Chain A
Amino acid sequence: MSPKIESLDQNIAFLWDSLYYWAEKKLSLEGQELLVSLMLEPYGDMIDDLSNCMSADEIKGFRINGSMTVGRLNQVLETIYDWALKIDWSKKSTNARAWYISEEKLEPRLGERFEEDIADYEQPLQPGRDAAALSKALSTWNDHQQIAAFLVAHPEHRHTVRRIQIVSRFEYAEIRDNTIDARMLPIDLLRAKLAFFGACHFDPRSDRWVRINMFKDAPFPHELTNQETDDWTYPTLKPQT
């Protein structure tokens, strides 16, 4: 990235734009992310308040809009979960895993549905399969009927209906892939979630768990006043040998 920036013609129109398109072609995903972070950095007045947008008033968005018609819900479902409706959920391989909470760990874990006794304890963490099941249940209802009536008859689909209505308003609210497929590797999910906690330095230990550092290279309290502390989250360059 350095040579590119040094040789950059700063007089061209849409300089950042051209740099970003160059990065898409030439840099790894991590490199692109780093460049985007650097490009945002000079514009504090435009971005500093954005971190406040990363929390949500969950109470406001929680209520199910029961006046939505079955037809409209179907339409939204087919748009957002088109990928899930194409999956054959009767196959063992598409259903191979189950997320559950173990007595021992008290946190969600991923197990093998057909090899362990965990199916009865499954958490609702397979939105694709649940959306496909909802779609099937809705197929016997008329388009003009209200979802409120459907949910009185089928409370088992409430969590999915709520999820679909939320995702219809917030594009990034859903994982658009099969979270229980035999070939699913949760490593990217783990990384995304942990990044929100402030984790850095990801060190995968297997395909099911990743070791991380929190606050790697962060200054100690006594260092805060006498050193430049803005850049500590960036990886440290190792001296070239």
Chain B
Amino acid sequence: MSYSLNEYEALALRAARGAGLSWGLAEEAGKAVKILSSLGLESAQILLEALEAPKSNSALLLGPQLCDAPDQLSKTTLSAPVHTPGFLVAFIALTCAATDQCIYCKWQDFEVYIKDQELFAVSLKGFNVTTAAPLWIGLAKAPKGKKQIALDRAIISDHHYENLTALAFKTYAPSTEASRIAGAGAGLNDND
């Protein structure tokens, strides 16, 4: 099914929090899937892989760190394996949006250029890989490859949606009799 980008962002944020990420990193996971969709990339599969057992080399953790200190993105080689590297594309796009730069990102048979919140792809194969090493990121003068068509809806399979919803569900407080009586709007009849 397709979902609005805001809905997908909110679901990913809650799922990431449910998987144990801090609020800030969960916000970034939400923003990352929204950006990937807007760049034309479907991300539900790698999101679930990243959240099943969050790893210290996950791109959901490394991406925000790279983004915080964008000087690192001017030319860098990540030689240690990165888990779900597809998310790096989102964090590079976030940096490009703030710095007006064109940045490339390559690993194995994946090569893209990002500029002005647009994605140019030489090869998108390998976007969904679980791990990649080494990876190259750096400034480019101009983008190469084919400009991707932005999506304004996120395509998420029912299976992925159910799994993400189950993770999001961990952030919801179970209703109790006490909360029904004490909570906003509780115990009052709205039909007067």
Q: Residues of A at under 8 Å CB distance from B?
A: 57-60, 62-67, 100-106, 109-112, 115-118, 120-121, 124, 146-148, 151-152, 155-162, 205-206, 208-209, 211
Determine if B67 is an interface residue (Cβ-Cβ < 8 Å): yes
B21, B67, B185: the one contacting A63 at CB < 8 Å is: B67
A124: chain B residues at CB < 8 Å are 23
A156: chain B residues at CB < 8 Å are 22-24
Asked if A63 and B98 make an inter-chain contact with CB atoms under 8 angstroms apart, the answer reads yes
A161 to B24, CA, bound (A): 9
Q: Which residues 150-192 of B sit at the A interface, judged by CB distance below 8 A? A: 169, 171-176, 178-180, 182-185, 188, 190
Q: Residues of B at under 8 Å CB distance from A?
A: 21-25, 27-28, 31, 35, 61, 64-65, 67-69, 71, 93-95, 97-98, 117, 169, 171-176, 178-180, 182-185, 188, 190
Asked if B22 and A102 make an inter-chain contact with CB atoms under 8 angstroms apart, the answer reads no
A67 to B71, CA, bound (A): 9
A101 to B170, CA, bound (A): 10
Interface of A is mostly: mixed
Asked if A147 and B182 make an inter-chain contact with CB atoms under 8 angstroms apart, the answer reads no
A63 to B175, CA, bound (A): 36
**Known contacts being A117-B176, A159-B22, is A64 close to B64, with CB within 8 Å?**
yes
CB distance from B1 to the nearest CB of A (A): 18
A64, A121, A161, A206: the one contacting B173 at CB < 8 Å is: A121
CB distance from B21 to the nearest CB of A (A): 8
Asked if B172 and A103 make an inter-chain contact with CB atoms under 8 angstroms apart, the answer reads yes
CB distance from B183 to the nearest CB of A (A): 5
A58, A59, A148, A157: the one contacting B68 at CB < 8 Å is: A148
Asked if A115 and B24 make an inter-chain contact with CB atoms under 8 angstroms apart, the answer reads no
Asked if A159 and B24 make an inter-chain contact with CB atoms under 8 angstroms apart, the answer reads yes
**Known contacts being A60-B97, A159-B27, is A66 close to B179, with CB within 8 Å?**
no
Asked if B173 and A59 make an inter-chain contact with CB atoms under 8 angstroms apart, the answer reads no
A58, A111, A155, A206: the one contacting B179 at CB < 8 Å is: A111
Asked if B65 and A102 make an inter-chain contact with CB atoms under 8 angstroms apart, the answer reads no
B98: chain A residues at CB < 8 Å are 60, 63
A116 to B97, CA, bound (A): 43
Asked if A66 and B68 make an inter-chain contact with CB atoms under 8 angstroms apart, the answer reads yes
Asked if A101 and B27 make an inter-chain contact with CB atoms under 8 angstroms apart, the answer reads no
What residue of chain A has the Cβ atom nearest to residue B14's Cβ?
A101
**Known contacts being A102-B179, A156-B22, is A121 close to B171, with CB within 8 Å?**
yes
A75 to B27, CA, bound (A): 25
**Known contacts being A116-B178, A116-B179, A159-B23, is A102 close to B95, with CB within 8 Å?**
no
Asked if B94 and A62 make an inter-chain contact with CB atoms under 8 angstroms apart, the answer reads yes
B93: chain A residues at CB < 8 Å are 59
CB distance from B158 to the nearest CB of A (A): 19
Asked if B183 and A111 make an inter-chain contact with CB atoms under 8 angstroms apart, the answer reads yes
What residue of chain B has the Cβ atom nearest to residue A59's Cβ?
B97
CB distance from B170 to the nearest CB of A (A): 9
Asked if B65 and A152 make an inter-chain contact with CB atoms under 8 angstroms apart, the answer reads yes
> Which of B97, B172, B179, B180: most chain A CB closer than 10 A?
B179
CB distance from B118 to the nearest CB of A (A): 12
B22, B68, B183: the one contacting A64 at CB < 8 Å is: B68
A57: chain B residues at CB < 8 Å are 97
Asked if A103 and B174 make an inter-chain contact with CB atoms under 8 angstroms apart, the answer reads yes
> Which of A148, A156, A209: most chain B CB closer than 10 A?
A148
What residue of chain A has the Cβ atom nearest to residue B189's Cβ?
A205
A67 to B176, CA, bound (A): 46
A182 to B16, CA, bound (A): 30
A159 to B28, CA, bound (A): 9
